[in-house]
Every structure is written in structure tokens, then in C-alpha cells.
């Protein structure tokens, strides 16, 4: 049995990565490919790495072009998906890679995004540990609406959730993360052109204003069973893909005497059965290259014995596990397919 899938935003980075993975998915038939300004042109003009779809013509993104599919992936700018999703039938699986349906707090949406609040959908991070001992995947089976996490929240939430779920960490998180330029999408901006980015790194969204901050706090609060604050500083790195995040939190007052082996064991146990998450052997550190093109999360955790802070470093590919791979993983769960179907485990290093 094949499921018929449409991709809206097919000319963009997230749409291109969805299609790269979907052409290798054994139970998918690719239907409509839609976008905005590129409607009428061939997909090959925008995604030349997908020769098997090169002759397909991009259609406008309307409820008519998206009708008649079992699954609709939306890879549109935030704000563009709410109206389209609302017009699609309830029995169609709609998987939104944008931010419109991620936040459960309308006030957080108003503060960080603004505009109309479209409500929240089941959150597509299957491995996320929740305070009651369950995982987020239990909420995705059979879902017909899924909000795909942001790329930074995927990395940061998976890096720290085990410590919060185990009651090991205090709620004062500091994250500094580097992202490749594809995290900002394909549209032209002067700060993203090659001569600005090559050979240079720079922070942006400094001072608690990055839009992914409330999403990280929302996820970690679910793991902790109480509020968590995140101070988040993103940086732009001279690479096309990849996120490397360094996430720290103090040991909770009740766990202040925990030793490095106890800390490590918590993360190892949390991810022992997770096919996409690897806690690296002691002394090895995550590298973005090892996760490129793969739906994987590489992480390492240590205790800084002097500051009594736990440091979790994590690498993902922002377009694979951080967007399209995560989206397909959640869609597999919603459709009752094996969670790992069609998703690569091997990276691209060097």
C-alpha cells in the first residue's frame, strides 16, 4: 500500500529535503509539488539534485492542488500554513514544518511571532521524554495534524530532556549553538551571501529574542514537569547544513552530589533504544559532518565538577533530523508505519 503525498514549498530547502527523502521511501507516491513565486516552473530548476523529479511542474499552493492526497507536508514560511491547513479535510495527515502550530501558549506566540494564533498540534519529536515517563511518540500514533519542531529545539530538547525527566537538572539552561546557513531558508539576504559567511562566524538573535526560545522552554518544561528557563544564543557558521549546540544546566539541588558516571548513565539509559539518537562513547564529541543527510542525533554529556553544571553537546543536520527527516519519522508513526521507514542512519563525513 502506498500513501499519496503532496509537498507544499517544494522549491525551498525544507521542501527539497523532504523530496530527497520521500523519493527513497518505499511506501510513498509523490503527488502534487506546490510553491509560490516558482509555480509554473519545473522542479529541476530549483532542486537539481533530484533528477527523478526534474520534469515535474510546480503548482500554486491552494487547497485545490493539495486535495486528494493522504499526506500533505507544508514547508512554507510561518504564517502561510494556518489557513491552508484549516481548509484541508480532517482525515488528511497534515505535517507542518513551519512554526504555526508548535506553541501551546498563545501569549508566547504573540510575543515571539505575532499575528493570528493558529492553535497547537501534536508535536513531532517522538523521542522527547515527558515528565510522566512516556515519550512524545505516544501522542503521534494515529495523529492527523503534526507540528514539526524547529531545528534548534530538536537539538536542544533532545540534548537536555533526559536530565530534566530524571530530576537531575535545575531549570536554568544556557545554550550556545551554531547553525549552517540553510537554517534561514533559500531567500536572498545580504548577511547570508557567501562573502559575508565564508571564513566568519557571527551571533544573531542575541538577548532572549530568538523565536525558538519559547519552544525549547515548552519542551523542557514537559520533561521537567515544571517551568524551565532557556538563555539561547544562536550563531551562524560558514557551512551549508548542520547544528552544533552546547547546552548547559546546573545540577538540581536534590542531585548536587551526582557524579559523572551517574549523569552519563541517565543519558545512556534514556536513549538506549532510540534508533536515531546516539550517546557517543566517553571522550568522543559530536561533529556536524557525521550527521549530514542522516536522521540522526549525536550527543555527548559530561559533568563539569567545578561549576556543578551538566554540559550536553549535540549535533544534527538541521534539514534532516531538524526538519524533513523528523517530519517523515512522525508521519510514519501517524500512519502506523515503522517509525524508521525510509530514513537514513548514515551521515556524510568528511
Ligand X SMILES: NC(=O)c1ccc[n+]([C@@H]2O[C@H](COP(=O)([O-])OP(=O)(O)OC[C@H]3O[C@@H](n4cnc5c(N)ncnc54)[C@H](OP(=O)(O)O)[C@@H]3O)[C@@H](O)[C@H]2O)c1
Binding of ligand X by 177 (CB under 6 A) = no
Q: How far is the CB of 253 from ligand X (least distance, A)?
A: 35
Give dist(CA 88, CA 72) in Å, integer. 9
Binding of ligand X by 9 (CB under 6 A) = yes
Strands of the sheet with 229-236, listed across from one edge: 202-203, 229-236, 172-179, 243-250, 309-316, 297-304, 277-279
Length of the chain: 350
Helix (H) or strand (E) holding 199: none
Binding of ligand X by 38 (CB under 6 A) = yes
Q: Which is nearer to ligand X, 171 or 185 (CB)?
A: 185
Site for ligand X, residues 237 to 266, rule: CB under 6 A: none
Q: Which is nearer to ligand X, 149 or 250 (CB)?
A: 149
- Rule CB under 6 A: choose which of 135, 137, 141, 186 binds ligand X: 186
Active site (annotated) includes residue 151: yes
**Cα–chain center distance at 51:** 26
Q: How many other C-beta atoms lie within 10 A of the C-beta of residue 195? A: 8
CB 218 within 8 A of CB 171: no
- Rule CB under 6 A: choose which of 25, 69, 78, 139 binds ligand X: 78
- Rule CB under 6 A: choose which of 6, 71, 76, 222 binds ligand X: 76
Q: Which residue has the cell 530530576?
A: 167
Q: How far is the CB of 46 from ligand X (least distance, A)?
A: 7
Q: How many residues bind ligand X (CB under 6 A)?
A: 31
Site for ligand X, residues 290 to 349, rule: CB under 6 A: 318-319, 322-323
Give dist(CA 136, CA 138) in Å, integer. 5
Binding of ligand X by 75 (CB under 6 A) = yes
3-state SS assignment for residue 160: helix
Q: Which is nearer to ligand X, 136 or 248 (CB)?
A: 136
- DSSP at 184: G
CB 81 within 8 A of CB 34: no
**Interface ranges with ligand X (CB under 6 A):** 9-15, 35-38, 61, 75-78, 80, 97-99, 150-151, 182-183, 185-187, 318-319, 322-323
Amino acid at each position: 500500500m502506498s500513501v499519496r503525498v503532496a509537498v507544499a514549498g517544494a522549491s525551498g530547502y525544507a521542501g527539497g529535503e523532504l523530496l530527497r527523502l520521500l523519493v527513497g521511501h518505499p511506501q510513498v507516491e509523490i503527488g502534487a509539488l506546490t510553491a509560490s513565486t516558482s509555480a509554473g516552473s519545473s522542479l529541476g530548476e530549483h532542486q537539481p539534485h533530484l533528477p527523478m523529479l526534474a520534469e515535474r511542474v510546480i503548482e500554486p499552493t491552494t487547497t485545490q492542488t493539495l486535495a486528494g492526497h493522504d499526506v500533505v507536508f507544508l514547508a512554507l514560511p510561518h504564517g502561510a500554513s494556518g489557513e491552508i491547513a484549516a481548509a484541508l479535510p480532517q482525515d488528511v495527515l497534515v505535517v507542518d514544518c513551519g512554526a504555526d502550530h508548535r506553541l501551546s501558549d498563545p501569549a508566547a506566540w504573540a510575543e515571539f511571532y505575532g499575528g493570528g494564533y493558529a492553535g497547537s498540534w501534536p508535536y513531532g519529536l517522538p523521542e522527547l521524554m515527558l515528565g510522566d515517563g512516556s515519550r512524545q511518540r505516544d501522542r503521534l500514533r494515529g495523529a492527523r495534524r503534526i507540528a514539526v519542531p524547529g531545528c534548534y529545539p530538536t537539538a536542544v530538547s533532545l540534548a537536555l530532556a533526559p536530565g530534566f525527566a530524571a530530576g537531575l537538572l535545575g531549570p536554568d539552561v544556557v545554550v550556545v549553538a551554531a547553525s549552517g546557513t540553510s537554517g534561514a531558508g533559500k531567500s536572498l539576504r545580504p548577511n547570508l551571501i557567501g562573502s559575508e559567511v565564508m571564513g566568519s562566524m557571527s551571533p544573531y538573535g542575541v538577548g532572549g529574542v530568538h523565536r525558538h526560545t519559547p519552544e525549547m522552554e515548552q519542551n523542557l518544561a514537559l520533561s521537567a514537569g515544571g517551568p524551565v528557563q532557556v538563555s539561547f544564543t544562536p550563531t551562524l557558521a560558514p557551512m551549508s547544513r548542520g547544528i552544533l549546540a552546547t547546552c548547559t544546566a546546573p545540577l538540581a539541588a536534590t542531585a548536587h552530589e551526582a557524579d559523572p558516571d551517574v549523569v552519563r548513565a541517565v543519558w545512556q539509559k534514556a536513549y538506549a533504544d532510540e534508533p536515531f539518537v546516539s550517546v557517543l562513547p566517553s571522550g568522543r564529541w559530536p561533529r556536524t559532518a557525521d550527521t549530514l543527510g542522516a536522521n540522526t542525533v549525536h550527543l555527548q554529556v559530561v559533568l563539569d565538577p567545578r561549576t556543578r553544571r551538566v554540559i550536553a553537546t549535540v549535533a544534527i543536520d538541521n534539514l534532516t533530523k531538524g526538519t524533513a527527516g523528523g517530519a517523515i519519522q512522525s508521519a510514519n508513526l501517524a500512519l502506523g508505519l515503522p517509525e524508521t521507514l525510509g530514513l537514513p542512519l548514515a551521515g556524510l563525513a568528511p
